[in-house]
Structure 1
Amino acid sequence: MSESVPGTPPEVFAPVEAPVSPPQASEEVEFVQLLTPEGERVENPDYSFDLDDEAIKGFYRDMVLVRRIDAEATALQRQGELGLWASLLGQEAAQIGSGRALNDRDMVFPTYREHGVAWCQGVDPLRLLGLFRGVDQGGWDPKDNNFHLYTIVIGAQTLHATGYAMGQQRDHAIGDAESGEATIAYFGDGASSQGDVNEAFIWSSVFNAPVVFFCQNNQWAISEPIDRQTRIPLYQRAAGFGFPGVRVDGNDVLATYAVTQQALKRAREGSGPTLIEAYTYRMGAHTTSDDPTKYRLNEDLEHWKLKDPIERVHAYLARHAGIDHDFFDEVEAEADKIAAVLRAGCLALPEPMLTDFFQHVYVEETPQLAEQRDQYAAYAASFEGEG
């Protein structure tokens, strides 16, 4: 029997419990769900999907096109045309559902995997490829589509989003659920362990910032499983910071839309932040530099394929909405056209002139910057004619 220190509660010396294991394939996880993997509509007492079947057809088209863009980008990387690519395979519903819940005044702060949200915001997919091809550092203006540049530093965008939301608050852009605006920050389960994310939770809570934190829990932080990130469901962390959290079926586009819509409404009307945990699965690799077969089982992947976000919407539309094959064929044909245009556009992206980068450092050129530019230009010119 171990001795205790006088005046110290006995529980201090209690053995530490082993971490809680993540749910296995056979276990059920509680979350908000409005469309089952079999394509059946179900009710939820707190959330409802109030759009018609035409809107669901639009969601289906979005997800199919985004998956095709993702597959083409992956192929381009494998062929040496992109330096890297972060696939969203399996996470289409989480991104399209949340992306379509945004209004034209809300601001998005993404990581580097939110290709579906970029699509919803009207960002040309070729702009995304420019970043991964290395011809620019992100070739779009965030103000054009209310979609910030991709953030490679894990979790940093949550602080950027919180600061932006506080600016919206001080500009009196909130107070009405319909005409107000909010900010949404996307991050993964691995990023939830970063200090930046937790600091963003603190600031947003204390200042009641109009921000929605959207965590795509795809079960793997690169090669680390979710049980290495948390001992409780991620959405429950919100309670410790003083704002609500909710877990949604991240493979259910209807539920993701409904949950995000309500969270954004809260933010716009001045009720503060919300944490959404979209419970999904990364069906591909973390990035094209990763090999997931080294750290996860094929049987888990096969289990999640049965929960495919696109197939469940296909099943609903075909069985319950009376949509015939012509619609699905048209979407597939459109996806092929987009992929061909994307490939041709990627190969035609011009190589950057590195001297141009000096033009974008300051609004007005400084003497020191001009000197550096001239020095670099002379250095680059010294290699001309050497093949």
Structure 2
Amino acid sequence: MTERHHDSGPEALLPSAQPVRFLTDTGAAVRSRPRYPLPNPETLRRAYHAMVVGRRFDAQATALTKQGRLAVYPSSHGQEACQIGAVLALEDGDWLFPTYRESVALVTRGIEPTEVLSLLRGDAHCGYDPHRHHVAPQCTPLATQTVHAAGLAYAERRKGSGRIALACVGDGATSEGDFHEALNFAAVFKAPVVFLVQNNQYAISVPLDRQTAAPSLAHKGVGYGVRSERVDGNDPVAVLAVLSAAAEHARSGQGPFLVEALTYRIESHTNADDATRYRSDAETEEWRRRDPIARLEAYLRRRGHLGDDDVAEAATAAEEFAGRLRTAMNADPKLDALELFDHVYGVATPQLDEQRETLRSELEAEEALT
């Protein structure tokens, strides 16, 4: 059973004894019904399509690193339920605070893939307009964006906008001070923010048991007065159900919500990492059998919500998406070296202006020689 037995008091903050599940590893419905409402079939069909496209994008981005078109790429293969669930649980005006691993979430949010990958190609610190998409820049330092998310959510509460924020982090980020400061601030000021911890079992090469002695990462919210929950992060139905409930909790003025999603990173940390040095092939294969896309497809087929034509359509859309990405990334970007000095300060310092003019003179002299 995943239901809580207390609706008020400190016990209400506690996560379920077992991670919330709607589906078995093979995609069959679990016998006991979790307390969270079942997402509607159309939302699940949309999630399936986005997950198929997202995985193909992820594979194509990984290939681009091997071709020298990207400097680095952190794959989220295996974590698609979390990536897609985070986006679908939000409304258009809500804010998403991603890490460097949320590229699939960003393309699902509607950001052009070349804009998403510009950071990883080295073209810009952020290749998209955060205000247009309500997506903060992808964050490489661990947990720093959780403080930003809590602050923005609090500002939205003060304005009465009804908007919320959702911050994605990994298990390693829960060991950082910023994470705990964000939880405490959000709880005290009832900031409407959801913290999604994608517990993929490793902080690069550091296993979970070297990160924490707590019963679960979800329990870390309890000490701050934050409602918390654990969910099977490879069960797309459960992830959508829990994150949607967490978003509603925050939006309705009840304060922050912490969700720990138990999942697994199938690929290495990045293309610069060798995961075979710290985990076994048997462990990875065990998690492959819990594949979130296969589980959702099997469930939707059993319920009559997905057929062969739908599966073929999603696969075709994914290939077309990857093809457009290849074409776009094979074109060399047009860069202006002087943009190095833009967006460093609100008002440029005299030293920065001097450096800009030095570079401008050097570039003009070089151009005159060619």
**Corresponding residue for residue 319 of structure 1:** 302
Partner of 1:143: 131
**Contact 1:35 1:254 survives alignment (8 Å):** yes
Runs of 4+ aligned structure 1 residues displaced above 6 Å come to none
CA contact (8 A) 1:109 1:184 kept: yes
Q: Which residue of 1 aligns with 2:360?
A: 377
Instruction: Give the secondary-structure state (helix, strand or coil) at the position aligned to 2:231.
Output: strand
Distance 1:386 1:284 in 2: 47
Shift, 1:360, TM fit: 3.6
Matches within 5 A, 1:17-96: 30-42=18-30, 43-52=32-41, 54-96=42-84
Greater Cα shift, 364-373 or 36-45: 364-373
How many angstroms apart in 2 are the aligned matches of 1:353 and 1:86?
Answer: 27
1:158 aligned partner, one-letter code? T
How far apart, in 2, do the equivalents of 1:74 and 1:244 lie? Answer: 36
Q: 1:123/1:189 Cα in 2 relative to 1: closer, same or farther (>3 Å)?
A: same
- Can you give the 5+ residue segments of structure 2 that lack an aligned partner in the other structure? 1-16
Equivalence for 1:17: none
Q: Which has the larger radius of gyration?
A: 1
Deviation at residue 364 of structure 1 after TM alignment: 5.9
Alignment of 1:198-237 (within 5 A): 198-231=180-213, 232-237=215-220
8 Å Cα contact 1:135-1:349 kept in structure 2: no
Residue 98 of structure 1 and its aligned partner are, at CA, apart by 2.2
Of residues 315-324 and 360-369 in structure 1, the stretch that sits farther from structure 2 once superposed is 360-369
CA contact (8 A) 1:130 1:346 kept: no
Structure 1 residues 212 and 82, CA gap change in structure 2 (3 angstroms): same
TM-score by length of 2: 0.90
Taking the aligned partners of 1:115 and 1:134, their CA distance within structure 2 comes to 15
Q: 1:288: which partner in 2?
A: 271
Q: How far did residue 94 of structure 1 move?
A: 1.1
Task: Check if 1:153 corresponds to 2:159.
Answer: no
* Inter-partner Cα distance in structure 2 for 1:257 and 1:331: 20
AA aligned to 1:203 is F
The answer to whether residue 244 in structure 2 is matched with residue 256 in structure 1 is no
1:342 is aligned to 325
Q: How many residues align?
A: 352
1:348 shift after superposition: 1.6
Secondary structure of 1:337's match? helix
Q: Structure 1 unaligned segments of length 5 or more: list them.
A: 1-28, 174-179
Deviation per CA, 1:16-38, whole angstroms, max 9, x where unpaired?
A: xxxxxxxxxxxxx9210112221
Cα distance, 1:256 vs structure 2: 0.7
Mapped to 1, the partners of 2:260 and 2:101 lie a distance apart of 16
Contact 1:70/1:88 (<8 A) preserved: yes
Report sequence identity in percent: 42
Q: Is the 8 Å Cα contact of residues 110 and 150 (structure 1) preserved in structure 2?
A: yes
Q: Is the 8 A contact 1:121 1:146 kept in 2?
A: no
Deviations 1:132-170 (A, max 9, x none): 111111111111111111011111000111111111121
Tell me which residue corresponds to 1:187.
169
Moved more, 122-131 or 34-43: 34-43
CA distance in structure 2 between the partners assigned to 1:350 and 1:67 by the alignment: 25
Instruction: Give the one of 105, 113, 126 matched to 1:117.
Output: 105
Partner of 1:126: 114
Partners of 1:367 and 1:200 in 2: how far apart?
Answer: 35
Cα RMSD between the aligned structures?
Answer: 1.9
Identify which of 275, 280, 291 aligns with 2:258.
275
Structure-1 separation of matches of 2:358 and 2:194 = 46
TM-score, normalised with respect to structure 1: 0.86
Work out the CA distance in 2 between the residues paired with 1:97 and 1:221.
Answer: 22
CA drift of 1:118 comes to: 1.1
